[in-house]
Amino acid sequence: MTTRTTGFFTDSTTCIGCKACEVACKEWNQVPSDGYQWTGNSYDNTGALGHSTWRHVRFVEGVRGGQPSWDFSSDVCKHCEHAGCLEACPTGAIVRTEFGGVFIQPDICNGCGYCVVSCPFGVVDRRPDDGRAFKCTFCYDRQKVGLAPACATACPTQSIQFGDLEELRAQAARRAATLHARGMDDVIVYDPRESSVGGIHAIFLVRGRLDDFGLPANPVMPTTLLARAWTSAGLAAIALLGVVVFAF
């Protein structure tokens, strides 16, 4: 079996908000319950991606063309080309798989929590009772044996598509062109290849503003700040040493 670079293409225009992806993910990956809190925000009682939520159906209410609009989009770890969490991990627990996904090895993670603050999408989270960091595994175990991830398999409308990343990119472009031709001129494909994350393995198609779907237009890979911060640290160290030497 040859390995290929895989991806998700989540098309919000065909999502019906059924949350089968959330359920399938929880069942397959044995992710614990995240409680029964009513958020009061549309039909979204999941809230956000977190340690026990690896797929999250976002409900976006608004107004489009004078009519109420109600959009759904299943959010997931973006599996960045240059991943903030992977670079930040001090133990080497976070690795890149042969399919191009970003995977946290649960037997290595020591729960330092640095990946949590290093993800520009706010995806990774530490599970309080367990102590380790968790996020979407891209169903690495299923992919290993040639299966599609649980969420994509369960999706009844093929809103979540799984396959070869380049093919999905072409498919997303075709889908956007079709919708534009039908007059949906607010359709956007989210695939920030020009940003410092260098592209993602989970691309999206949404209508309206990216912000409404929690998708940052320009996600910043935290390591791009390292040069600036270490330069400042170097200057600080020189100043500190200078003061101390001068004092004696």
Partner 1 sequence: MPSKPPVWTWEVPAYLFAGGAAGAAAVIAGAAHFAHADPGLVLTARIVAAIGAVVSPVLLVSDLGRPQRFLYMLRVFKPQSTMSVGAWTLVVFTFATFAALALATPIGRALTGSTALTAAADMLGIFTGLVLATYTGVLLGATAIPVWAANASYLPLHFAASSLGAAAGMIELAGRADTALHRIGLAAALMETVALAVMEIDWRGGHQTLPSGVGRQMIRVGHVFTGLLALVLRLATARWPAARALAGVAAIGGSLVNRMGWMASGRASALQDRSQ
Answer yes or no whether residue 228 interacts with partner 1 by CB under 8 A: yes
Interface stretch with partner 1, choices 6-14, 112-120, 138-146, 199-207 (CB under 8 A): 112-120
Nearer to partner 1, 39 or 178 (CB): 39
Smallest gap from Cβ 26 to partner 1, in A, equals 20
Answer yes or no whether residue 32 interacts with partner 1 by CB under 8 A: no
Question: Under DSSP, is residue 178 helix (H, G, I), strand (E, B) or coil?
Answer: helix
Do residues 79 and 218 make contact, with C-beta atoms less than 8 angstroms apart?
no
Answer yes or no whether residue 231 interacts with partner 1 by CB under 8 A: yes
Answer yes or no whether residue 136 interacts with partner 1 by CB under 8 A: no
* DSSP states of 186-238: TEEEE--TTSTT--BSEEEEEES-GGGGT--SS---GGGGHHHHHHHHHHHHH
Smallest gap from Cβ 247 to partner 1, in A, equals 4
CA distance 189 to 193: 11
Answer yes or no whether residue 127 interacts with partner 1 by CB under 8 A: yes
Q: How many CB atoms lie within 10 A of CB 188?
A: 17
Smallest gap from Cβ 242 to partner 1, in A, equals 9
Nearest to 28 by CA among 151, 163, 158: 151
Interface stretch with partner 1, choices 12-20, 63-71, 80-88, 200-208 (CB under 8 A): 80-88
DSSP 108: T
Answer yes or no whether residue 16 interacts with partner 1 by CB under 8 A: no
Interface stretch with partner 1, choices 28-36, 110-118, 137-145, 179-187 (CB under 8 A): 110-118
Do residues 88 and 171 make contact, with C-beta atoms less than 8 angstroms apart?
no
Site for partner 1 in 45-74 (CB under 8 A): 48, 50
What's at 218, amino acid-wise? N
Answer yes or no whether residue 239 interacts with partner 1 by CB under 8 A: yes
* DSSP states of 2-56: ----EEEEEEGGG-----HHHHHHHHHHTPPP-------BTTB-S-S-BTTBSEE
Answer yes or no whether residue 112 interacts with partner 1 by CB under 8 A: yes
Smallest gap from Cβ 190 to partner 1, in A, equals 13
Summarize as ranges the residues that interact with partner 1 (CB under 8 A).
48, 50, 84, 87-93, 108-114, 116-128, 130-133, 211, 214, 216, 219-220, 222-223, 225-226, 228-237, 239-241, 243-248
